[in-house]
């Protein structure tokens, strides 16, 4: 397992996921809802919703090919 470099800077309500290969995705977070605006894998839409307590909802993702 190799060493990875990742950063997640915030610009207002936007979160950028940055790795050694550049920006991998941009997420808009409003309150409890996170919405993926853009990603290199061309997947967008609802990412997750924080629920009360220690729970959260995350849409099931597609398997990588």
For residue range 15-61, list pLDDT tens digits in order.
998 888 888 888 898 888 888 888 887 777 777 888 888 888 887 65
Among 33, 32, 16, residue whose Cα is nearest residue 24: 16
- Give the integer Cα–Cα distance in Å for 39 and 61: 13
Output the pLDDT for position 14: 93
Output the pLDDT for position 61: 59
34 in Cβ contact with 44 (< 8 Å): no
Question: Distance of CA 6 to CAs 10, 21, 31, 51, Å?
Answer: 13, 10, 24, 26
Asked if the model's pLDDT at residue 64 lies above 50, the reply is: no
């Amino acid at each position: 397992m190799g060493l990875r470099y990742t950063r997640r800077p915030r610009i207002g309500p936007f979160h950028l996921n940055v790795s050694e290969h550049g920006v991998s995705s941009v997420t808009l977070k409003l309150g409890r809802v996170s919405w993926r605006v853009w990603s290199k894998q061309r997947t967008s839409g609802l990412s997750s919703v924080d629920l009360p307590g220690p729970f959260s909802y995350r849409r099931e993702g597609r398997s990588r090919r």
